[in-house]
Structure 1
Amino acid sequence: MSQHRHQLITSVDSFNNTMLHLAGKLPPKNKVNHTFGAALRMQEELRWFEVVKEMLPPPYYERLNNKGKTAHQVFTVQHANLKIEGEKWMKETASSCAIIAMLTVAIAFGATITVPGGRNCENGLPIFSRNGFFSAFAFSNTVSLSTACISLFAFVSILTSSYAEEDFLRVLPKRLLWGLLTLYASIEAMMLSFGCALYFVFKDNYMVFYVGFVLAVLPILAFQHWRGSLVNHLFFEVKKKDNSLES
């Protein structure tokens, strides 16, 4: 590190605030990205604080300003309301998604009991067990049930989290990402199993079958439209954090 750069990052203002103290202050509202929820804004603030912290020598971490506060204490005070808003946003998002996951679990579990075409009275096996569409139905339904359960566990873990300040940096966003991805996979698999079940109902009328199969894709497209940007943002933010930890 050059001497000029070292002097720049270790300089203090008239209130004895280091660069880390200034990084701990909340930016003006007109400078904040409001595209996503408060929890993700909190994540961005924590990441910026960590980036600045890595630039400074360790003795500056605990340096006090004129008010007798460390940079971390300044960050905690400045972001107290944002932390509360972030917890509220995260719980509301997890609660709404958990309801969808529970419904998917119920539908997928019910489909394993009432298989298409019913069962053979003699041996109890499904009548269409040798049909390729039935194998696809059984596999996709199993995937739907398992991924919905994983998604539900992820959202429950968010709801029961301690919501410590550092959790907003990586733990909570990663759980939300896993929950949304597995929920998306569950809905996709459920729609595929629904399409396979349509085959047994309308196998003599392919036009109705194809129309029904196309309509089954609409929930997937709707989920991608409304939650796709959030999933993409979470994915790249978590990946960015993982890469920074590896380096």
Structure 2
Amino acid sequence: MDPNFLKAAAAGNSEPFKDMPREVIGILFTAKTKNTILHINIISQERENASTKFAEEILEKCPSLLLQVNAKGDTPLHVAAKFGHSDIVRVLVERAKLLQHDNEELESGIRTVRHMIRMTNHEKNTALHEAVCHRNVDVVKILTKEDPDYPYSANNDGKTPLYMAADYGSSDMVLALLENSTSASHEGPNGKTALHAAAMKSYFVDAALRKLLEKKKNLIKETDQYGWTPIHYAVYYGNYGTVNLLLETDQSASNIADKDRKMTALHLAAGRGYVGTVKAIISKNLECYELVDNRGWNFLHYAMVSFYVEELGNLLENNPLVRSLIIEGDAKGNTPLHVLAAVRPDEFGVRMIRKMQANFDAVNKQNVSVTNILLNGYPELKEEIQKLSKDVGRGQYSDGVIRGPKYLVGQNDDTKDDYKDTRASHLVVAALIATVAFAAGFTIPGGYRSENGTAILRRNTAFQAFIVADSIAMVFSLSAVFTHFLMALKIEATKDFDEALFAASIWFTLFSMGAMVIAFVTGTYAMLVPSLGLAIITCLIGLSFFFLAFWLIKLSIF
């Protein structure tokens, strides 16, 4: 192609082509990519300022460009969809409608707008695939409305547009596809469906998920190459809201076990330490509580590894049927108590076992009792659990089969190093808060009276609240520092990580953070009370910490 023609097409200037025969225009393309002048014009435009003038004028002159493909098999519609030029897409569609009854304009006979929309490139992508791939929602809406009955098959990657939209977590595109299309295909690679993809996304909008279940309810029991249903993925990735919605739609889906380990969603939830998810599954489908995997483990075996002591106690106290699983042995005769003793052979494990009022003198098939494990350990079982924490299967367990607190899974060198780093970071935070609280206690808002050294604002209510909150922050932060000191002494003496001390240090630090925020808010208010509006705004900004903290804690629990 002549460089001048290339520049003219890129600039949207149709003048050089006005007197050119349509046959000549049709053979103008770049050497390598085989882009026509229409391709070039569409590629060169910015989405925000895209103009349809060149496309309208050049197609009036040479309609055959509408279906001419480049070296990748892309039509101008593919390119417009890829770059998100919705106005140009509308022009191309309208032009195709005008041509659908004109046999002389195109060599292959009648070409309708739907034929253009359904054309695939070398990757087997239609224009809709390209629009979804590049998150162009407006183009998706246009194309699906123009051809609502076409199912759209999978491309070379095995992905349909609906699967791609769900995989990207784009609720808007999923809704557009489901609302405008009557028969959208849902297939994805490796046996997955669009519902599998949606179940993996924590930020997937509830309305889109409900619409997907409404239109394709049968997908809830569809399994991929691993035998995983959508609820397996929702549970594994901790998407609590999605799990609840899937259970409401069909609770029996939680009975389905995978191919490799025969694990149900309940096993996965227990292995990941998701207490809320475990309770939700049991409350909606109690019959699944006794199902076992290929080693004979029920979900309580997994919970013994991944749950904290308080969580286990609460679960067992409130669920008699769950409590009955304590005496159920696996293929090797190991009960959940054997597992608990192997991974938690400290005073907390002993206290938990005694609290369960079970027979911890019962032996497994190797004639090893729970008492023997508490006294002498059980390296064989502990090693088995450690392997589970690192086992990724065939790729479906991206973070291991079990993801419990690391000090429960095993006290290897890596674990010790990890917790050493964690304790160090917590200690720094606690010490920093103590330092700030100490400094704030002597650098008080409003200053001192020169004659007697007393605080100027001592009678101000907000100032009094500041002093109290600052003192609380000081006490709690120093308590956290002291707790870390005790923890270090215990690790040095016994080589064991103390769960209770670590948990206490976390709570002390959290309370000191909250007290520090209150101290900041009250101190600021005391200083700014003459400017009441500014004081209130500052307080609201400071108090937003509690909202953010609650939201983050809620996410971490589920």
* TM-score normalised by the chain length of structure 2: 0.30
- Letter of the 2:463 partner, please give it: F
Deviations 1:47-88 (A, max 9, x none): 843359953537879947xxxx98724235445783225434
Partner secondary structure for residue 123 of structure 1? coil
Shift of 1:190: 0.9
Residue 106 of structure 1 is aligned with which of 435, 446, 453? 435
How many residue pairs were aligned? 197
1:33 is matched with: 271
Alpha-carbon contact 1:155-1:179 (below 8 Å) kept: yes
- Letter of the 1:176 partner, please give it: F
1:82 is matched with: 410
Identity of matched residues, %? 16
- Structure 2 unaligned spans of 5+: 1-260, 275-304, 310-335, 342-352, 387-408
Alpha-carbon contact 1:150-1:182 (below 8 Å) kept: yes
Partner secondary structure for residue 129 of structure 1? coil
* CA–CA distance in structure 2, aligned partners of residues 92 and 151 of structure 1: 16
* TM-score normalised by the chain length of structure 1: 0.62
Shift of 1:192: 1.0
2:528 is matched with: 202
- Letter of the 1:96 partner, please give it: S
Q: Using a 3 Å threshold, how does the CA distance of structure 1 residues 199 and 57 change in structure 2: closer, same or farther?
A: closer
The structure with higher relative contact order (CA 8 Å, sep 6+) is 1
**How does 1:205-216 map onto structure 2 within 5 Å?**
205-216=531-542
Q: Using a 3 Å threshold, how does the CA distance of structure 1 residues 191 and 42 change in structure 2: closer, same or farther?
A: closer
Question: Which has the higher Rg, Structure 1 or Structure 2?
Answer: 2
Alpha-carbon contact 2:460-2:526 (below 8 Å) kept: no
Alpha-carbon contact 2:476-2:512 (below 8 Å) kept: yes
2:479 is matched with: 150
1:16 is matched with: none
Structure 1 range deviating more: 122-131 or 72-81: 72-81
Shift of 1:179: 1.3
1:186 is matched with: 512
* CA–CA distance in structure 2, aligned partners of residues 61 and 196 of structure 1: 64
Shift of 1:217: 1.9
Following TM superposition, where does structure 1 have runs of at least 4 consecutive aligned residues deviating by more than 4 angstroms? 27-32, 42-47, 51-54, 58-64, 76-81, 163-168, 227-230
* CA–CA distance in structure 2, aligned partners of residues 92 and 46 of structure 1: 31
Q: Using a 3 Å threshold, how does the CA distance of structure 1 residues 158 and 166 change in structure 2: closer, same or farther?
A: closer
1:15 is matched with: none
**How does 1:42-53 map onto structure 2 within 5 Å?**
48-50=339-341
* CA–CA distance in structure 1, aligned partners of residues 543 and 530 of structure 2: 22
Residue 138 of structure 1 is aligned with which of 445, 450, 467? 467
Shift of 1:167: 4.4
- Letter of the 1:113 partner, please give it: F
Q: Using a 3 Å threshold, how does the CA distance of structure 1 residues 28 and 90 change in structure 2: closer, same or farther?
A: farther
1:177 aligns with 2:415: no
Alpha-carbon contact 2:339-2:381 (below 8 Å) kept: no
Partner secondary structure for residue 55 of structure 1? coil
- Structure 1 unaligned spans of 5+: 1-26, 234-247
